[in-house]
């Protein structure tokens, strides 16, 4: 389990990246709605795994390429905001938990369960 310091740093990195994503000029990134769901930083602050989800799933592959391309710029923006000794290298991961949750919800709703009133 991450320490309180690491959890606070994760939250600050997430906020900083959310603000910095608006300034990216790459059309693959600026042309789609991107949501940063969570950030996990290693204890030595060398790497930060950034989980992102996209509103339009068909643009996810291109947007991931754009995020990896803009990684240096985004890392520099995080460094300017946070003033840490080491700015973590950003590793981008596609977060499919929202799609998975929606699929489970549709499966649950498709079940034919009788309520107590109907019996």
> What is the mean predicted confidence (pLDDT) over 65-90?
90
Q: How many angstroms separate the CA atoms of 109 and 100, rounded?
A: 14
- The pLDDT value given to residue 2: 66
39 in a domain, yes or no? yes
The model's confidence at residue 115, banded by pLDDT at 50, 70 and 90, is low
User: Residue 87 domain-assigned?
Assistant: yes
In a domain, 116, yes or no: no
Provide the CATH number for the domain around residue 104.
Answer: 3.30.300.20
| Residue 76 falls inside a structural domain | yes
Domain contains 119 = no
9-50 pLDDT, tens digit each: 999 999 999 999 988 888 888 888 888 999 999 999 899 999
Q: How many domains does the chain have?
A: 1
- Separation between Cα atoms, residue 84 and residue 113, nearest integer Å: 54
Which residue range(s) make up the domain with 77? 4-110
The reply to whether 66 falls in a domain is yes
């Amino acid at each position: 389990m991450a320490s309180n310091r690491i959890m606070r740093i994760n939250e600050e990195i997430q906020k900083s990246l959310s603000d910095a994503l608006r300034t990216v000029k790459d059309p693959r990134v600026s042309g789609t709605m991107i949501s940063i769901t969570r950030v996990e930083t290693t204890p030595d602050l060398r790497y930060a795994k950034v989980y992102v989800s996209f509103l339009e799933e068909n643009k996810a592959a291109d947007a991931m390429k754009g995020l990896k391309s803009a990684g240096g710029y985004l890392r520099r923006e995080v460094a300017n905001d946070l003033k840490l000794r080491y700015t973590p290298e950003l590793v981008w991961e596609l977060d499919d938990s929202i799609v998975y949750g929606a699929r489970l919800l549709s499966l649950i709703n498709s079940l034919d369960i009788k309520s107590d009133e109907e019996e």
